[in-house]
Structure 1
Amino acid sequence: MIEFLFSYETLRITWWILLGVLLIGFAVMDGFDMGVGTLLPFVAKTDLERRVAINTVGPVWEGNQVWFILGGGAIFAAWPALYALSFSGFYLAMFLVLLALILRPVAFKYRSKRPEKTWRARWDGALFIGGAVPSLIFGVAVGNALQGVPFHLTSDLRPIYEGTLLGLLNPLALYCGLVSLSMLVMHGAAWLAFKAEGLVSERAKAIGSKAAILTGLLFAGGGALVWLGLLGGYRVTSAVKWDGPSNPLLKSVTKDGGAWLANFEAHPVLWLVPVLGIIGPFFVALGFRTRREGLTFIASKLSVAMIIATVGLAMFPVILPSITNPSHSLTVFDASSSRATLRNMLLATVFFMPIILLYTAWVYRVLWGKVSEKSIEKAGHSAY
């Protein structure tokens, strides 16, 4: 049993699953932070209302962002070829994301240092950028991964990326960016409806209901593109050796219009994931209208998880296809680190992940309760 659990093929699949868990964890946990930042100009009209919105995420955003660091670290350690290509090929896009994310902590810390309206308005704008830009760019990155990235590998496995920033901003990628943006706006609105009181909560419900419906429609539209074969997928056509060497040049891959549906057709139970991704946002919209804030936030979490999981299940075992030379695409079985690295990382994860989850649960338990204008006035300068 132990030998099976730590076999190379099992470790590769396990780390593909763990990478998906980390990315979903980032979208679910830090996603509502970014959603709140994006919604800030629309749900809060006065300084006090903006402080209510900001203080719903102010105490927890730093802990939530740990999921982003964990995801990047997992890619670096478990899938070094994927890290090298995505973080170098998407360098300018990643730079925009990091710049936006850097603005966010600075805005949290400095916004309330001075009382002038213009001073606070600038930092409110920074919070908006720190929420909206990453929400859009992450979706753009997924869109490019789905349609293929212009890269190839040399004989010594050195990656050569041939794309540009403008090339990343293609129609399909921007469409996926809109899915991501509307999804996280929905998620942020669900958090505000659950955590805030007063007009901030009411405006969040109104906007969140529209964002949820838009998310369901956009995600269904993306599924239709795949179903009609308008979004070509990639299929591994050579024999798969799950415990083989990490060499992407030892296989053949072809571009196939129906490839992204192959896993769902082979295992029909998997259709439940995209179906929940489509209908989940409509239940979120219903939750907003029936004022069941707790269930609405849970439905929003589930919707976000299912939308992201759909992409991973559709692409498996491909993790980054090459549009320049499909056979150079990176897959789960030929782009991983060594068996020893994956094993040692898994042991560390089994030890540390429960600690992170317990600490996170404890923090949210301590900070339980709604944020109101009265609580902000009572807290004074101790609140954001």
Structure 2
Amino acid sequence: MPSYEILRLIWWALLGILLIGVAVMDGFDLGTAILLPFVGKTDVERRVVINTVGPVWEGNQVWLILGGGAIFAAWPPLYAVAFSGFYLAMFLVLCALILRPAGFKYRSKLTDPTWREVWDWALFVGGLVPALIFGVAFGNVLQGVPFRFDETMRMTYEGNLFGLLNPFALLCGLVSVAMLTMHGGAYLSLKAEEAVASRAAYFAARAAMVLIALFAIGGVWVAFIDGYVVQGVVAHDGPSNPLLKHVATSAGAWLANYGQQPLTLAAPVLGFGGAVLTIVLLRSPKSFAFAIVASALSVAGVIATAGLSIFPFLLPSSLDPSAGLIVWDASSSRLTLFIMLIATLVFLPIVLVYTAWVYRVLRGRVTAAYVAANPTGVY
């Protein structure tokens, strides 16, 4: 069995991979929904947009469940604090996500234009709200979340929903919206027929430009917010008790990670470079297939930037900095992590192979002619 330290690092990396998987796989579904009212000029074109994700969105959402499950099993204190403190925000996300299956199923049940337009905007909300809230959550993590533990490890959260909507967190929310809009537009440029694809490419390129600007502003802003630094030496194979360490705050501490580990600079470079490459590749229909890859790399770079910036923290505490959760004191037991790792090594490749096979079967563009020829067989 690997050492406790190695297992904790592996599960920290796997958590990051799963979060990137959520953003890449479910992200283009959300981005497609955000663009739906704008790239589809007619009812048929909007049905084309919906049917590009119709067969795959449920499978993509499994990545969200996997991410939540991994947090629950590998990092129980993180699950307890995040899912309790962000309860109302997550409730909003769930309400928005519920609009997706309802919109897909009910939109085409009636031919009334008003009925269909209402569901189109419901799908838009179902894409925009989760994208925004997920980014807001990352913004609050970077600033620290107002929670503490007492001596019996009972958690107290002293924040509220409106406190989460602070200026820096909203900036991160806008970064998330721009990022997923870019990703959804790149996907549509590859999967939709020419007219819709051209509009989607236009919006995706503009979203990429906004992403680059907001990501840069966020990087500068981070230099002026308080980061968190663990004082002294913490045993990497010690007990999962966050009260056994001391943490101090320091302005710009998050950026110090990049000075200590220069290789971590690859993450923001990938975030910026992937967005720039997406813009370039979207100029020609011949390179749309590569644009979605560049967009996915940009998404991965943006998320990795946030995760690497706060390492070894998982969830800092602004209320009691020493109660913040770090990789070395917030995990499950060594045996639990090992058993989960074995299960992951067995089943994750199966999931990836099956997913690749599904997308191969569903390759090709969705056209208006196909939608018109299948009035009851598609959304």
Deviation of 1:259 after TM superposition, in Å, equals 1.7
Structure 2 length normalisation: TM-score? 0.98
Structure 2 counterpart of 1:354, from 349, 354, 368: 349
Deviation at 1:209, TM superposition (A): 1.0
Contact 2:208 2:278 in 1 (8 A): yes
- 1:145-156 equivalent positions in 2, closer than 5 A: 145-156=141-152
Q: SS at the partner of 1:369?
A: coil
Q: Which residue of 288, 294, 316 corresponds with 1:293?
A: 288
> Does residue 128 of the first structure (1) align with residue 124 of the second (2)?
yes
Partner of 2:158: 162
Shift of 1:374: 1.1
Mapped to 2, the partners of 1:129 and 1:19 lie a distance apart of 27
Aligned to 1:332: 327
* Counterpart-to-counterpart distance in 1, 2:46 and 2:6: 48
**Which residue pairs with 1:383 in the alignment?**
378
Equivalent residue, structure 2, for 1:238: 232
CA–CA distance in 2 between the matches of 1:37 and 1:138?
16
SS in 2 for 1:382: coil
Helix, strand or coil at the partner of 1:380:
coil
1:199 is displaced (CA, Å) by 1.9
Aligned to 1:225: 221
In 2, are the aligned partners of 1:52 and 1:196 still within 8 Å (CA)?
yes
Aligned alpha-carbon RMSD (Å): 1.0
- The whole-number CA distance in structure 2 between the counterparts of 1:258 and 1:15 is 27
Of 229-238 and 334-343, deviating more is 229-238
Alpha-carbon separation, structure 2, partners of 1:262 and 1:10: 23
Q: Tell me the distance in 1 between the aligned counterparts of 2:89 and 2:47.
A: 30
1:275 aligns with 2:255: no
Indicate conservation of the 8 Å contact 1:37/1:128, yes or no.
yes
Cα distance, 1:158 vs structure 2: 1.0
8 A contact 2:192–2:365 mirrored in 1? yes
Query: Is 1:65 aligned to 2:61, yes or no?
Result: yes
- Return the alpha-carbon distance in structure 1 between the equivalents of residues 364 and 131 of structure 2: 27
Who is 2:298 aligned against? 303
DSSP-derived class of the 2:375 partner: helix
Q: Distance in 2 between matches of 1:279 and 1:325?
A: 37
Structure 1 distance, partners of 2:225, 2:376, is 52
Counterpart of 2:108?
Answer: 112
Cα distance between partner residues in 2 of 1:352 and 1:79: 20
The separation in 2 between residues aligned to 1:269 and 1:91, in whole angstroms, is 35
2 CA distance for matches of 1:84 and 1:269? 32
Gaps of at least 5 residues in structure 2 are none
Taking the aligned partners of 1:12 and 1:109, their CA distance within structure 2 comes to 42
Structure 2 counterpart of 1:316, from 271, 294, 311? 311
Structure 1 unaligned residues grouped into runs of 5+: none
Q: Are residues 1:265 and 2:259 paired?
A: yes
Deviation, structure 1 residue 107: 1.1
Residue type at the aligned position of 2:313: V
State the secondary structure of the residue aligned to 2:282: helix
Residue equivalent to 1:82: 78
* Structure 1: distance between partners of 2:371 and 2:24: 26
One-letter amino acid of the counterpart of residue 304, structure 2: A
Displacement of 1:263 in angstroms is: 2.3
Q: Secondary structure at the match of 1:256?
A: strand
Q: What corresponds to 1:284 in structure 2? A: 278
Quick one: distance in 2 between partners of 1:381 and 1:200?
22
State whether structure 2 residue 339 is matched by structure 1 residue 344: yes
CA contact (8 A) 1:151 1:160 kept: yes
| Fraction of identical pairs, as percent | 60
Please give the residue correspondences for 1:195-234 in structure 2 after superposition, counting only pairs within 5 Å: 195-226=191-222, 229-234=223-228
Rounded Cα–Cα distance in structure 1 between residues aligned with 2:246 and 2:232 = 5
SS in structure 1 opposite 2:248? Answer: strand
TM-score (structure 1 length as normaliser): 0.97
Aligned to 2:245: 251
Contact 2:224 2:252 in 1 (8 A): no
Aligned partners of 1:272 and 1:317: how far apart in 2?
18
CA–CA separation in structure 2 for the residues paired with 1:238 and 1:100: 44
AA in 2 matched with 1:230: F
Contact 1:217 1:278 in 2 (8 A): no
Q: Tell me what 1:191 maps to.
A: 187
Cα distance, 1:262 vs structure 2: 2.4
Distance 2:268 2:172 in 1: 15
